[in-house]
Structure 1
């Protein structure tokens, strides 16, 4: 009986300790579950913000990774086209319309006519780079393509260098202005003003170069030549024919006659002066010499010679 009484209090105490331990474990578990749920929700929120569109990938339950950012290329594109058309003004109007519809504009333009009256036009077109290929293909299809030249120049390094130098130059100008605000002597102010003017001039030159690069890389340049007659191309395999020989001979003959006429024209003034001198000598000097009187002693001498002989 004593043994049972001694065991029951011990069992009751052990049960009480076990219940207390379970209660404490439940509280800590609830706290940890609350903290875990908070961290999970924060992580999920970060994942949603990082994913494109602000949501996680619902297909596989994974985050959508962002695409790597590639460096922007800056390329200057130019092309030259020679197209034979039936009507140059009509083809020129179509080229203008195509350029303006693409968001570009028409630059320099020149028109001329040859000896036979055939019209020829050369025009410079500026079109956005993203519409360059489309406009080029449309211009090529406006007639018979005679010649095409296209070039692409990568100036990415130049653009990056100019941007870096502009940033440094702006910081330099800002430092000079700060020194001017702190200067107290007139000599220091004058020196700083000269330095500021020099650096601002360098900055403006860099900005102008940046604007030029931006214009040349954002707008492609197409030089279009429109002609009504075919452009003859000389080939190395073409042998001269009879017509070519006759044409060459006639050209040489005409050239020779031309030089002869030029030579005669150059000699004509001297010949005219010489002719005048000869005419003057014949009309004036020669008659005077023939009219001179004969000396009287000449006949006497002749008579004496005759008498001596007899």
Structure 2
């Protein structure tokens, strides 16, 4: 009995080995079939997708077609908040017509016209300053349209990334709303009057802070969704007529001489007017000298004439022989 039992135990591993090998092969075949079926399904899905895309596009996408345009289109950035501003100065022939064109371009893009100021410069030329608000996706298009209305004098564009500010404000708004909700729950559970009064003060303070955060959040949302364009329109001065220079004649010479004479008289009058105060001062000093100072000065005695004694008369020369006296 013991020998037969031992023999049976020794044969058991030999019998189990083929069974385990068969089970392993069976499992491998099942997994291979599953993977092959999954691969076939994946391939069929890919083919179906490609067929759908070809059907939607009306066949293979041609170069320059709608499919190529969609493929080359720049994807829109998500999760980034940017404030865009621009300042344009354009010289146009007619300011009212250019202003109407700017309004039409802004309104067709889904924007609106803000502040507007119109006046005239020192030469009587009309000029206008207007603020335009347009959506961010139409910003570049509207700027190009406004630039093409006339001669561009200056352009200043800026883009400010405020993503951090938007995320921070949104987080603070959510936290503050939760805080207000907790205070209100405590107020509902409060039974003492002192607790209710204290909680009301705390609730009022937190609600005020929440309103300030909501106002800042709305401002950031407005500036990141709508771009601001400041447009300055000025009227171009009229072209000056070219005057042909002819040969000067008698009247031209007479007119030029009269102009030179008038200019000379003008300069003489100007010089006299400049010298007149000094001449009046000199005349006043001379008058004071003659009337006040000079009469008070001591007079010097007149010099006596010198008396001279006449000397002997000179002798007459004698005349020679033959000469008469």
- Give the TM-score normalised by the residue count of structure 2: 0.52
Following TM superposition, by how much is the alpha carbon of 1:113 offset from its aligned partner in structure 2, in angstroms? Answer: 2.8
Q: 2:147 aligns with which of 140, 153, 168?
A: 140
Change in CA separation of 1:84 and 1:25 when aligned onto 2, cut-off 3 Å? same
CA distance in 1, matches of 2:79, 2:101: 33
1:121 alignment counterpart? 128
CA distance in 1, matches of 2:210, 2:226: 24
Of 107-116 and 141-150, more deviation after overlay is shown by 107-116
Please list, as runs of the form range in 1=range in 2, the aligned pairs for 1:1-310 lying within 5 A after superposition: 22=18, 25-26=21-22, 29-30=25-26, 33-34=29-30, 72-114=79-121, 116-229=123-236
Distance (Å, rounded) in 2 between the aligned partners of 1:205 and 1:42: 61
Task: Give the secondary structure class of the aligned counterpart of 1:73.
Answer: coil
CA distance in structure 1 between the partners assigned to 2:195 and 2:122 by the alignment: 71
- CA separation of 1:198 and 1:130: change in aligned 2, threshold 3 A: same
CA 113–173 in structure 1, closer or farther in 2 if over 3 Å, else same: same
Pairs aligned (count): 200
SS in 1 for 2:110: coil
Q: 2:260: which partner in 1?
A: none
Change in CA separation of 1:133 and 1:71 when aligned onto 2, cut-off 3 Å: closer
The 1-side partners of 2:154 and 2:19 are apart by 92
SS of corresponding position for 1:184? coil
Displacement of 1:216 after TM fit?
A: 0.6
For residues 204-240 of structure 1, the C-alpha deviation after alignment (integer angstroms, 9 at most, x for no partner) is 110110110111111111010111136xxxxxxxxxx
Cα distance between partner residues in 2 of 1:54 and 1:179: 57
| Alpha-carbon offset, residue 181 of structure 1 | 2.1
**Cα distance in structure 1, aligned partners of 2:219 and 2:225:** 10
Give CA-to-partner distance per residue, 1:57-78, whole Å, 9 cap, x none: xxxxxxxxxxxxx872222111
**Deviation sequence 1:144-164 (CA, Å, 0-9, x none):** 111222222221221121112
Q: CA RMSD in A?
A: 3.9
* Counterpart-to-counterpart distance in 2, 1:141 and 1:100: 17
Greater Rg over alpha carbons, structure: 2
Question: Distance between the aligned counterparts of 1:96 and 1:215, measured in 2?
Answer: 20
The TM-score, its normalising length taken from structure 1, stands at 0.55
Residue aligned with 1:108, SS: strand
Unpaired runs of 5+ residues, structure 2, are: 1-10, 51-76, 238-269, 271-325
